[in-house]
Amino acid sequence: MKNFKFSSLLLAPLFAVLAACGGGGGDQATTPATPAVPTLKTIAITVSTSTTIPVSVVADATAVGTYSDGTSKPLTVAGGLQWATKSGNATVASIATATGKLTAVGVGTETITATQDSVVGSLAITVTAPWTQVSAGGFQTIARRADGKLYAWGQNNWGQLGDNSNLGRESPVAVNNGSATTAWRQVSVGEQFAVGIRAATGSSTTGGTLWSWGLNTNGQLGQGNTTNRSVPVQVGKDATWVSVSAGKYHVLALKADGTLWAWGRNSEGQLGDTSLFGRQEPVQVGGSAKTNTAVWIAFSAGGTHSMGIQKDGSLWTWGSNVDGQLGNSSTSSTPVPTPAKIGTGVYNAVSAGASHSMAIATNGTLWGWGANGSSQLGNNATGGTVTVPRQFSPDNDWNIVSAGGLHTLAIRKDGSLWAWGSNADGQLGDGSGSDDAISPKQIGTERTWVAISAGDGHSAALKADNSLWTWGRNGNGQLGNGKTVTSPIPVNIPNPTPN
């Protein structure tokens, strides 16, 4: 029998097969590799409000981390997140290290940072001065900020926005300072012009200088001419003006000594200077005779009539009375060019609309008279005229009132907002967009309203947090929300960045 010898070349494949089948390997096992721990790569910061916020506003800052494996998750202080400001101080903004609460402290810019695992995320924050006053006119709106700057928007074909142009604006633009640099204290917008008071320079501490701009066909700018202006121009040299009200084509203004002055159109006697002559410069209401010793504390210029309250709380009216807006128990096409006392009531606030009048008595009751074709008196009726002051609401908690073209706004002492009259352009702000209100109707449920201004067909107001809201007609951009679409509900107007 022949012997065979296996070649090593034949054995090698055999061992390979056994290995593949698990043979020859004993009980050894391969240890799996430990997965790599994802590392933090970037941090993104967001805030609950806009990155442009007014002074005193508090917002929540949040940080989200993105990791090397592509995943993202919120970061927390408990997990090692650290909040800070880039400057290291709280002059402009502060952020709570434990909660990420961001507080706007002062006007300027600041960068907040979020740091974890040596990775830093940052976000630039701009802090602006809050809104403090607003005035809605015929087709434009102007508002004042706490830093004394004015911003305007809407129609501008006569330079009434004061930005040295005739371009309409759908968002706030800064009003030019003119030849002065002091802060603005007050502004009032008429049909297509505006007047404002700014802080005086020198030793005067009782008032400020008076400025005007826009349409001037009736001398309503008080410049001694009828030249339109697209930037503010000072009215005279006096520096004791304390308050001003612009009507359709005329102006009333109060000096620190309690004397009331007027200028502009006067064909209806709305200047109250005992004449029917138009005035291109301020003249004293009631005439300049030595017997004119009236001391005024409140006043309002309307469409073609005017109203005022004297120191004793007595109510006085003058100008057109075609619709009974003077409240003297009559209607007449004969102008009344001299202030006349109305009734025996005691008042602390008045507002003159296009052809109706509103007033608040010292006991908090609300009174109205004049035209009522759109229920702007709120007397639960439509049409007719009321020729004497009449209390239409039984409540005695009214605090502020503003009469517009065909509608009226008011705020009660609890901060609630009410409106009535025409709603053809959504100017009541109740969301219906068309239904007039024949009696006061609460707008929303908030009780934080602190200021109102009723324009011709739009409205503006401020809340306690100094936020600005507008609603109603917007064909000329007078709402300031960057659009020209009517809004039947209040829309928030962002605060412009500092400039």
Tens digit of pLDDT for each residue in 340-373? Answer: 999 999 999 999 999 999 999 999 999 999 999 9
**Residue 268: both structure tokens together:** 């209806």
pLDDT of residue 310: 98
pLDDT of residue 496: 77
Burial of 35 (0-12, 13-18, 19+ CB in 10 A): exposed
Average pLDDT estimate for 29-45: 83
Backbone angle region of 337, left / alpha / beta, with phi > 0 → left and psi within -120 to 50 → alpha: alpha
Tens digit of pLDDT for each residue in 200-245? Answer: 886 556 799 999 999 999 999 999 999 999 999 999 999 999 999 9
Task: Report residue 4's pLDDT band, with 50, 70 and 90 as the boundaries.
Answer: very low
Tens digit of pLDDT for each residue in 266-282? Answer: 999 999 999 999 999 99
**Residue 5: both structure tokens together:** 């010898």
Question: What is the number of residues in the chain?
Answer: 499
**Contact call for residues 271 and 279 (beta carbons, < 8 A):** yes
- Residue 469 pLDDT > 50: yes
The phi, psi pair for 362, rounded to 5°, reads -65, -20
Q: Where are the beta strands (DSSP E) in 238-295?
A: 241-246, 250-255, 260-264, 279-284
Torsion on CA atoms 15, 19, 24, 28, rounded to nearest 10: 150
**Residue 173: both structure tokens together:** 């633009």
Distance in angstroms (rounded) separating the CA atoms of residues 461 and 134: 7
Q: State the DSSP code for 421.
A: E
Average pLDDT estimate for 55-82: 94
Task: Report residue 128's pLDDT band, with 50, 70 and 90 as the boundaries.
Answer: confident
Strand-pair category, 119-128 with 52-54: parallel
**Contact call for residues 54 and 495 (beta carbons, < 8 A):** yes
**Contact call for residues 449 and 457 (beta carbons, < 8 A):** no
**Contact call for residues 40 and 67 (beta carbons, < 8 A):** yes
Distance in angstroms (rounded) separating the CA atoms of residues 269 and 278: 9
Distance in angstroms (rounded) separating the CA atoms of residues 386 and 329: 8
Provide CB contacts within 8 A for 350, sequence distance 6+.
298, 299, 300, 307, 308, 309, 315, 357, 358, 359, 360
Mean pLDDT of the chain: 92
Tell me which amino acid residue 239 is.
A
Q: Tell me the three state secondary structure of residue 19.
A: helix
Average pLDDT estimate for 8-37: 49
Torsion on CA atoms 399, 404, 407, 410, rounded to nearest 10: -10
Distance in angstroms (rounded) separating the CA atoms of residues 278 and 281: 9
Q: How many CA atoms lie within 13 A of 357 on its CB side?
A: 34
- Residue 75 pLDDT > 50: yes
- Residue 2 pLDDT > 60: no
| Nearest partner of 135 among 153, 117, 159, judged by Cα | 153
For 296-300, the CB contacts below 8 A with 24+ separation are 296/254, 296/258, 296/259, 296/260, 297/258, 297/348, 298/347, 298/348, 298/349, 298/350, 299/243, 299/245, 299/252, 299/254, 299/260, 299/350, 300/245, 300/252, 300/350, 300/351, 300/352, 300/403
The phi, psi pair for 213, rounded to 5°, reads -165, 160
Distance in angstroms (rounded) separating the CA atoms of residues 28 and 383: 101
Tens digit of pLDDT for each residue in 292-303? Answer: 999 999 999 999
| Nearest partner of 143 among 459, 468, 411, judged by Cα | 468
Write down the pTM of the prediction: 0.84
